[in-house]
């Protein structure tokens, strides 16, 4: 526990009582020891003044204690020598903190928290024990101080008594004086110890104060730095606020500009609405023109299609004629080729026969020569041998010429055979290409036929939808025309009723004004009640009707701002807001909640009027009837009296207002119906445009299908002609192949015969 070193340090600070001399053991003495210099915390420095030396200097009387009657000897714990100095608290705290850190580094957070809670509880218990021990020490010190004072006084009194009783110059006299001096010295030492303790406490307080001042200075520096940072931030915020104010001003300017632009846009919108109406009319005209143009275009397209069909038929006839001519030409060429082949074959046969005849002649000549040679060898002369040799040479030369001729003929025949084979290969390739193209054309024709069937199947549904949309469009146009006619009729009736209502209201106002002027004199003579009583009267139903009339006139004037205000509006607008209106008739007293001003009622309904001054031209008539108590109440009283017979006018105004509301509701309904019809008309127009596009696409598809059908017919005809030509050429090739085989066989036989 770290409270024991603290207590030891505090005990060393306390003045300790020790005997000064062995001879004077019975008389107590005090010795002042220097205080232990420590570098503890300010809290520890403040605990000492609160416990030991916090007593003021003028506190001379000792504290009463129960130990004052005890023995005058000090306790052994206080009279003993100074205890060894213990470690300061800061070192113990650092050691405990290091041990805690070392233990917390190896333990888990839960263990550390538990250990910390245990240490806190131990610290609290040790702090309580330390405070109790300090209080015990303080009580003991107070008891010892009281004992010392008491003993010093007793010794001083005993010394005085002994000095007075002892003779002068005797030893007892000197001892008494010495004892008196010792007592005085003890008192002086006690005072000095108190002063020293007080000064030490002051020094400690000053040190603590300097530390607190240093802390406060550091805190003030931190606060100053924080204030500087806050000031810089505030300056930045101020600058940003100025920038935002500038931006706000710019935005306000932009808002004003936008408002101007909005007004301009509204005016543009009104002009654009008129333009839109014109454009709608133009659109309707354009739609009618478009229908006419579509009909004309359809007729023109039909005529063009007819012309095109005629042209295609003519082209087809021409192509058929060309086909027949080409077939005849090919057949004639084939006949010529066949005749040429026959001639060539006959030539080859004739040449072969000639060669065979020549060969036979040569063979016969050879036999004759052999016979002659045999005869010559048998006994003929040299002349005959020479003739035979000449004949042999001539025969050999003839044979060489014949062989060369035969080789040339064979080479020409081989070349013709190779050329015919090449033509055969090319014809086979062309046949394969023609067959491939024919397959592709047939596939395309099948696809076109399928698409044609699909479009033909969809065509009735498209035509039905087109008819439905046209019927819907006609119905919508009829409804729109009916609605426009109804709207025009409603507007005309509304204008007529409005004009009649305005005329009737003006006439009624003039009648009421004449009644007010006629009844003004009688009202002045017959008025017997006080102004206060008339102010306490409420509004009548007639005046409320006039209020409704004035409100209706104000709303109508807000709509038509060019019309001047009526006389009723001038009179009612000239009335002050604080003056209530009442009737002078004593028959009926309306309830007090109806006592309200005209302008407050108008203010609740949102109506504001420019009230002319009180000295208007109509007040000159009432100048001689003003009451001395309330000079501004005469006009209000006149209004209340004049409205007594205004029942029918109120009913008329109510009927007119109900009629106006009904007409306004009908007008709003017609507007909504018109908007709905316009939306439906736009939708129908969009659908018609889409259907027209679909019809145009369908027409294009039909024309494309017709073209494809025609192309398919042409391709089929070409395919048939190519097949015919291919068959003929294949037959020709087969014939040529057979001819070539025959020629090869003939030449082979001829060669074999010549070799033999």
pLDDT tens per residue, range 186-200: 888 888 888 888 898
DSSP per position, 569-597: HHHHHTS-TT-------SS----GGG---
Structurally, how many domains does the chain consist of? 1
In a domain, 517, yes or no: no
Rounded to whole angstroms, the Cα distance separating 596 from 393 reads 167
Q: What's the Rg (C-alpha) of the chain?
A: 73
8 Å CB contact between 181 and 24: no
8 Å CB contact between 636 and 581: yes
Rounded to whole angstroms, the Cα distance separating 556 from 562 reads 11
- At 751 the three-state DSSP class reads helix
Q: Which two tokens stand for residue 239?
A: 């600058």
Identify the sign of the CA torsion 69, 71, 75, 78: positive
Give the per-residue pLDDT at 203. Answer: 92
Band the pLDDT of 122: cuts 50, 70, 90.
very high
In a domain, 212, yes or no: yes
Mean pLDDT of 137-141: 88
Give the per-residue pLDDT at 69. Answer: 37
| Mean pLDDT computed over every residue of the chain | 68
Rounded to whole angstroms, the Cα distance separating 281 from 286 reads 8
In a domain, 456, yes or no: no
Q: What is the pLDDT of residues 506-546, one digit of tens each?
A: 888 888 778 777 776 554 454 444 444 444 444 344 444 44
Q: What is the pLDDT of residues 294-312, one digit of tens each?
A: 777 777 777 877 777 777 7
Does pLDDT of 612 surpass 50?
Answer: no
Torsion of CA 220, 222, 227, 232, to 10 degrees: 150
Q: What is the pLDDT of residues 233-267, one digit of tens each?
A: 888 888 888 888 888 888 778 788 877 877 877 78
Percent of the chain whose predicted confidence (pLDDT) is above 90: 2
Q: What is the pLDDT of residues 429-457, one digit of tens each?
A: 877 777 787 778 778 777 777 877 777 77
DSSP per position, 501-559: HHHHHHHHHHHHHHHHHHHHHHHHHH--S-HHHHHT----HHHHHHHHHHHHHHHHHHH
Band the pLDDT of 99: cuts 50, 70, 90.
low
For residue 173, give the H/E element and its range: helix 171-379
In a domain, 188, yes or no: yes
Residues in the chain: 756
DSSP letter at 53 equals S
- For tokens 């068959």, the residue is 727
By CB atoms closer than 10 A (0-12, 13-18, 19+), residue 159 is: buried
Task: Give the range of the structural domain holding residue 147, as residue numbers without chain letter.
Answer: 3-235
Q: Which two tokens stand for residue 323?
A: 């086909």
Q: What is the pLDDT of residues 653-712, one digit of tens each?
A: 777 788 888 888 888 888 888 888 888 888 878 878 888 888 888 888 888 888 888 888
Conformational region of residue 173, where left means phi above 0, alpha means psi within -120 to 50, and beta covers everything else = alpha
In a domain, 339, yes or no: no
Beta-carbon contacts of residue 616 (< 8 Å; ≥ 6 apart): 570, 574
8 Å CB contact between 638 and 584: no
Torsion of CA 520, 522, 525, 529, to 10 degrees: -80
In a domain, 161, yes or no: yes
* Cα 560 → chain centroid: 45
8 Å CB contact between 487 and 670: yes
Give the per-residue pLDDT at 98. Answer: 54
Start-to-end Cα distance in the chain:
150
Give the per-residue pLDDT at 379. Answer: 53
Identify the sign of the CA torsion 335, 336, 339, 344: negative
39 or 240, higher pLDDT: 240
Q: Which two tokens stand for residue 651?
A: 């009913």
DSSP letter at 622 equals G
- For tokens 């003739």, the residue is 387
In a domain, 24, yes or no: yes
Q: What is the pLDDT of residues 152-162, one digit of tens each?
A: 788 778 777 87
Q: What is the pLDDT of residues 561-583, one digit of tens each?
A: 444 444 444 433 444 333 333 33
Q: Which two tokens stand for residue 248?
A: 């706000």
Does pLDDT of 377 surpass 70?
Answer: no
Percent of the chain whose predicted confidence (pLDDT) is above 70: 66
Alpha carbon distances (Å) from 425 to 261, 338, 413, 433:
85, 20, 19, 12
- For tokens 């391709």, the residue is 715
DSSP per position, 442-487: HHHHHHHHHHHHHHHHHHHHHHHHHHHHHHHHHHHHHHHHHHHHHH
Alpha carbon distances (Å) from 195 to 47, 470, 477, 669:
18, 124, 120, 107
Band the pLDDT of 635: cuts 50, 70, 90.
very low
In a domain, 90, yes or no: yes
CB-CB neighbours of 198 under 10 Å: 16
- For tokens 């026969």, the residue is 353
């Amino acid at each position: 526990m770290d409270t024991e070193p603290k207590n030891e340090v505090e005990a060393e600070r306390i003045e300790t009582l020790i005997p000064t001399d062995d001879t004077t053991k019975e008389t107590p003495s005090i010795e002042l020891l220097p205080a232990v210099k420590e570098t503890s915390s300010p809290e520890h420095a403040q605990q000492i003044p609160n416990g030991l030396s916090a007593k003021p200097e003028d506190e001379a009387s000792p504290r009463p204690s129960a130990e004052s009657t005890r023995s005058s000897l000090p306790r052994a714990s206080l009279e003993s020598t100074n205890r060894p100095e213990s470690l300061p608290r800061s070192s113990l705290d650092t050691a405990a903190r290091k041990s805690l850190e070392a233990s917390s580094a190896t333990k888990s957070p839960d263990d550390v928290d538990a250990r910390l809670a245990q240490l806190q509880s131990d610290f609290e218990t040790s702090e309580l024990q330390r405070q109790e021990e300090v209080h015990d020490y303080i009580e003991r010190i107070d008891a010892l101080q009281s004992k010392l004072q008491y003993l010093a006084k007793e010794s001083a009194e005993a010394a005085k008594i002994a000095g007075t009783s002892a003779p002068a110059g005797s030893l007892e006299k000197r001892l008494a004086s010495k004892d008196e001096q010792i007592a005085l010295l003890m008192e002086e030492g006690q005072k000095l110890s108190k002063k020293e303790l007080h000064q030490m406490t002051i020094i400690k307080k000053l040190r603590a104060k300097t530390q607190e001042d240093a802390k406060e200075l550091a805190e003030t520096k931190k606060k100053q730095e924080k204030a500087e940072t806050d000031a810089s931030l505030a300056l930045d915020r101020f600058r940003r606020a100025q920038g935002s104010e500038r931006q706000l001003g710019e935005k306000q300017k932009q808002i004003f500009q936008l408002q101007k632009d909005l007004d301009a846009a509204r005016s543009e919108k009104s002009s654009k609405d008129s333009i839109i109406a014109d454009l709608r009319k133009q659109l309707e005209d354009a739609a009618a023109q478009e229908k006419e143009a579509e009909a004309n275009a359809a007729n023109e397209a039909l005529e063009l299609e007819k012309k095109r069909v005629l042209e295609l038929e003519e082209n087809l006839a021409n192509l058929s004629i060309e086909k027949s001519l080409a077939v005849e030409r090919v057949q004639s060429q084939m006949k010529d080729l066949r005749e040429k082949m026959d001639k060539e074959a006959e030539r080859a046969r004739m040449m072969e026969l000639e060669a065979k005849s020549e060969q036979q002649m040569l063979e016969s000549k050879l036999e004759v020569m052999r016979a002659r040679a045999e005869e010559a060898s048998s006994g003929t002369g040299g002349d005959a041998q020479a003739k035979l040799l000449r004949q042999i040479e001539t025969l050999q030369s003839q044979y060489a010429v014949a062989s060369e001729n035969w080789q040339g003929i064979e080479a020409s025949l081989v070349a013709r055979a190779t050329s015919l084979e090449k033509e055969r290969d090319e014809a086979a390739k062309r046949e394969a290409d023609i067959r491939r193209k024919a397959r592709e054309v047939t596939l395309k024709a099948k696809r076109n036929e399928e698409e044609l069937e699909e479009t033909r199947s969809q065509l009735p549904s498209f035509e039905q939808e087109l008819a439905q949309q046209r019927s819907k469009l006609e119905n919508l146009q009829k409804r729109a025309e009916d609605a426009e006619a109804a709207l025009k009729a409603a507007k005309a009736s509304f204008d007529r009723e409005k004009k009649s209502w305005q005329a009737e209201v003006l006439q009624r106002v003039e009648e009421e004004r004449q009644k007010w002027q006629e009844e003004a004199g009688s009202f002045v003579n017959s008025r017997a009640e006080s102004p206060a009583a008339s102010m306490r009267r409420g509004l009548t139903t007639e005046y409320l009707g006039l209020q409704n009339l004035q409100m209706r006139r104000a709303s109508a004037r807000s709509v038509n701002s060019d019309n001047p205000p009526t006389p009723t509006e001038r009179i009612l607008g000239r009335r002050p807001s604080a003056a209530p209106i009442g009737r002078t008739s004593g028959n009926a007293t309306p309830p007090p909640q109806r006592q309200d001003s005209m302008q407050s009622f108008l203010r609740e309904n949102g109506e504001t009027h420019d009230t002319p001054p009180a000295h208007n031209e109509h007040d000159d008539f009432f100048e001689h009837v003003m009451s001395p108590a309330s000079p501004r109440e005469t006009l209000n009283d006149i209004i209340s009296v004049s409205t007594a017979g205004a029942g029918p006018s109120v009913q008329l105004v109510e009927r007119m207002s109900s009629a106006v509301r009904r007409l306004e509701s009908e007008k709003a309904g017609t507007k909504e119906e018109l908007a709905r019809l316009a939306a439906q008309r736009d939708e129908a127009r969009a659908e018609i445009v889409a259907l027209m596009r679909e019809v145009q696409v369908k027409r294009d598809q039909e024309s494309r299908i017709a073209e494809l059908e025609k192309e398919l017919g042409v391709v089929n005809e070409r395919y048939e002609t190519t097949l015919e030509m291919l068959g003929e050429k294949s037959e020709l090739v087969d014939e040529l192949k057979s001819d070539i085989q025959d020629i090869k066989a003939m030449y082979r036989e001829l060669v074999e015969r010549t070799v033999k």
